[in-house]
Amino acid sequence: MKLLLPALLLALGVHAVKHEDFKECGQTSFCRRLRPLSTKSESADFASPYSLGTPSLASASQIGAPTKDSAWTFPLSSTLYPEVAFELRVDVLEGDIARVRVDEVGSASPWRRYNETARWSLLSSEPAHGTAKISTQNGMSSIKYGHGLELRINHAPLRIAMVRDGTEEIVFNDRGLFHMEHFRTKEMPVEEEVKETEGEQVKTEEGEAQTEEVEIKSEPEEQEPFEAVIDRSWFETEDGDMFEEQWKRWRDSKPKGPEAFSLDISFPLAKHVFGLPEHASPLSLPDTIGEGSHYTEPYRLWNVDIFEYVADSPMALYGAVPLLHAHSTKGTVGVLNLVASETWVDVAHTNGVQTHWISESGIMDLLLLPGPNPTALFEQYASLTGPAQMPPQFATAYHQCRWNYNTQGEVIEVQERFEEADMPLDVTWLDIEYADEHRYFDWNKKMFPDPVAMINQVAKFGRKMVAIVDPHIKRTDSFRVYKDSLDLDILIKKADNNNFDGWCWPGSSVWVDFFNPKSWEWWTRMFSFETWADQTKDLFVWNDMNEPSVFDGPEITMPKDNIHDGGWEHRDVHNINGMLFHNQTQHAITVREPTKKRPFVLSRAFFAGSQRFGSVWTGDNLGTWEHMAGEAAMFLSNSIAGISFVGADIGGFFGNPGNEMLVRWYQKGAFMPFMRAHAHIDTKRREPYLFEEPIRSYLRDALRLRYILLPAWYNAFHDAATKGHPVIWPQYAKYPSDETGAAVDNQYYVGDSGLLFRPVVDEGATSADVYLAAGQPFYDYFSPRMWPARSKPRNVTIDTPLDKFPLLIEGGHIFPSRERVRRSSSLMRLDPVTFTVALGHNQEAKGQLYMDDGETFAWESGAFIHRALEFKNGKLSSTQKVPHNAKNEYAQSIQDVGVERVRVLGLNQEPTSVSVSGKEVQFVWDKGAPSAKEPRAAVLTIKNPGVKVVNDWEIVIA
């Protein structure tokens, strides 16, 4: 059987993505059924056949105690299927978030719609409620909440608008595309149903319009009659594939029959929509429908293992976050459509922006985030799905990976070569070949005779290791993990209830069902030192292939009719599946030692909420300029959707980048939140120490720059973990009222440091343009060059010889750095700090310094230092930003750490003295040339001001 594997690998292609391996909308029955409605509905007299009855307060048990009058249910029905009852429920949550859910109710069918996406994705499946007031009259309910917000709910036809200060900003069912297929049995022929409707509809058309007779379950007299020309077949195109579906050699048994739903959301004020990761598309999502649209397929959310993805495409990739930001200079709002089944989204810039969402199964669970600006949206989204996990310090530094370091000796050699080349390194990774027959946990002892000794030797340099543990489990009785999972009966089942097996790296494999809580404690045990002796606390984990990738499955994943815990089909939970695996692995790593340690687990698949469990990367990219160019937009798209600990394989997973490309990739890598080099097994070795000068120095410089700026990155990771802010910020999020910069996605900001990075992604480029917003001066990081503040945005051109790239500092910011780079980040723990003060147009600047032990959870109980830095009226001060116990163990441990240098950029007057506590300190002044044609900033350098990072201090510049 093992012999089959190379053949299979070949078949899977080490060449361009096989489009034919993945479905288009027209090849999947539910999308084929529901997408065309958006064009048919364009007829002028079309209206939604759905209408609401009178609302009633949701009962206490439904809300969970303590209750507030902020949740209501409405009976919902459709003239298409008057006998079917739906319920629409509105909750107003804390943070002024409105939640709208729809489910079929009272059905005689034994089936239910999947309603547990929120349970996994959100911090709490029933988040705390806010306060709101409802009034209902004339077929209209108005719910008022928050700061000038209102939900205007039109009962018939169904339409819900989120209104702010009188203006509609988000409209649900504006175009009447909401439709929820009801459970039915196959015996009821679709054709007959359709005929029946056509009969009813003729009546409507004839104007006898007995719409009041439509069965609305309560108080029909509240209904306003409405007339519409609708045809049931528009909503549910006759489709022989409703009850089973064949695609290529795979048959989907679809025991529940049709259960898709679609909905439309309009953003009347929006100029751009951002989000819906993961796609290799621009950040400002181009149209997928309508004349001249950039794409013709909708954005697809369906986690798949897609070899060598296309660089500009709405095709599905490894992760899915059904979140959109709708933005214009008038404001930014968001929607989270919490559904885990296969989902397609059309986007059209018409009357603002219109979106049409089509999902295969599940309830409708829509969260309307009011903004009104990107920062508020980040915080609202984090209040639902959680802020990011605070990573251990080492994880923010440089990771060296390759498929594969094949022996223990090779791993040690990598350490020594980095050492010799004077290049910093924190983490060395092992891909699948470390494991005996791809049985993860079991080392190949021929190649790795003493893993513990190896890890310990790596750890001597203050470094860590990562080994891969994938979700497929080799089906062989001699493998304890397989035996255990069989005994515990925790495997994902086939439609016939037998354990599912499929083909993956180890050959025939099974998959643990992490929806089954019985698997949790067991999986934790798999990583304990008792169960897995061949590891140490310095070994961390990589969860790959967790979409899940199944080589012989439809679209290289699991059949949709597979069964999970609770009887749910894989179809219902596919997009969250990988996140549950990620969660359990990171939990296992957290509790491995008696004192909990911050875990580090990298995942390929993700969903809304995955940020709570660790980092992700963009999967199998290509070593091409085109892929490199598109990645900034992918990082940003993930980042605004919470998944901001993200990176791409430096150098490209596939291919052999030339020297120039590799240098550019390392420079870009130094500014990815997750900085890892990785390469396919067939590629040439490309560790940075292998290159000749000057390439070697350029690569070293990129690595060193990452380490120098680690304190600034750590600030950003801390803001992500505490406020839900992204680690890197797109232009529109920093400057929401600047229309011209809104779509810029080839540059970004690191946290609140003011650092603005623009990767060079063009072959042979000798210069690159950077977009500068109005208002602040910008300073070059590498030279005294500056760009004075302007009242209008502009592009500036920056020279980019191979050792240089655009890295600017926006005026008004102070950021910390550590300029003495050592072999690994942990060895820099007690090194002094440098502050760069980039003065704003008003001669002021602000910043922060957050530091903690970098490995435990003690920071959550006050063991950290968090300083506020401020430059104002010629004084630079450091004060406590967040109150903490100054005697905390961490602060004690760094009490001798000093500030070795302060650089002040853009001071408009030469100082006569610089002093700390009345004592003069030395300084160097370079007056620059602020008004030259190519202005140079004045630079004041204060060496060794004699202050400690843990203390309050003030440096007076007179």
Binding site for ligand NAG (CB under 6 A): 112, 115-116, 119-120, 125, 520, 579-580, 583, 587, 609, 740, 769, 771, 793-795
- Taking the least distance from each CB to ligand NAG, the nearer of 423 and 742 is 742
Secondary structure E strands in 636-701: 646-647, 649-650, 675-677
**346, 544, 649, 745: which is the annotated catalytic residue?**
544
Q: How far apart are CA 96 and CA 18, in angstroms?
A: 44
Q: Which of 807, 804, 801 is nearest to 765 (CA)?
A: 801
Place of tokens 């048994």: 253
**470, 620, 649, 719: which is the annotated catalytic residue?**
620
Is 544 marked active-site?
yes
Residue type, 208: E
Nearest approach, Cβ of 125 to ligand NAG (angstroms)?
A: 5
Name the token pair of 420: 């010799």
Nearest approach, Cβ of 520 to ligand NAG (angstroms)?
A: 5
Q: Residue 909's CB: how many other CB atoms inside 10 A?
A: 11
Q: How far apart are CA 220 and CA 52, in angstroms?
A: 9
Q: How far apart are CA 495 and CA 7, in angstroms?
A: 29
Nearest approach, Cβ of 689 to ligand NAG (angstroms)?
A: 37
Q: Which of 344, 253, 877, 143 is nearest to 559 (CA)?
A: 253
- Taking the least distance from each CB to ligand NAG, the nearer of 580 and 949 is 580
The 8-class DSSP code of residue 86 comes to E
Whether omega before 157 lies within 30 degrees of 0, making that bond cis, reads yes
The torsion defined by the Cα of 756, 316, 599 and 531, in degrees rounded to 10, comes to: -160
- Taking the least distance from each CB to ligand NAG, the nearer of 116 and 205 is 116
Q: For residues 113 and 103, is the Cβ–Cβ distance under 8 A?
A: yes
The torsion defined by the Cα of 123, 126, 131 and 137, in degrees rounded to 10, comes to: 140
Nearest approach, Cβ of 522 to ligand NAG (angstroms)?
A: 12
Q: For residues 834 and 902, is the Cβ–Cβ distance under 8 A?
A: yes
Q: How far apart are CA 440 and CA 693, in angstroms?
A: 39
- Taking the least distance from each CB to ligand NAG, the nearer of 127 and 609 is 609
Is 450 marked active-site?
no
Nearest approach, Cβ of 734 to ligand NAG (angstroms)?
A: 15
Nearest approach, Cβ of 119 to ligand NAG (angstroms)?
A: 5
Q: Residue 879's CB: how many other CB atoms inside 10 A?
A: 12
- Taking the least distance from each CB to ligand NAG, the nearer of 13 and 106 is 106
If residue 525 lies in a helix (H) or strand (E), which one and from where to where?
helix 518-526
Nearest approach, Cβ of 116 to ligand NAG (angstroms)?
A: 5
- Taking the least distance from each CB to ligand NAG, the nearer of 642 and 655 is 642
Q: How far apart are CA 424 and CA 115, in angstroms?
A: 48
Q: How far apart are CA 575 and CA 617, in angstroms?
A: 16
Q: How far apart are CA 887 and CA 863, in angstroms?
A: 9
Give the CA distances from residue 681 to residues 14, 40, 317, 881, in Å, rounded to whole numbers and listed in that order. Answer: 11, 50, 22, 48
- Taking the least distance from each CB to ligand NAG, the nearer of 318 and 551 is 318
Give the CA distances from residue 612 to residues 122, 377, 716, 857, 955, in Å, rounded to whole numbers and listed in that order. Answer: 10, 18, 16, 14, 39
- Taking the least distance from each CB to ligand NAG, the nearer of 205 and 769 is 769
Residue type, 829: R
Nearest approach, Cβ of 514 to ligand NAG (angstroms)?
A: 7
Residues catalogued as catalytic: 544, 620
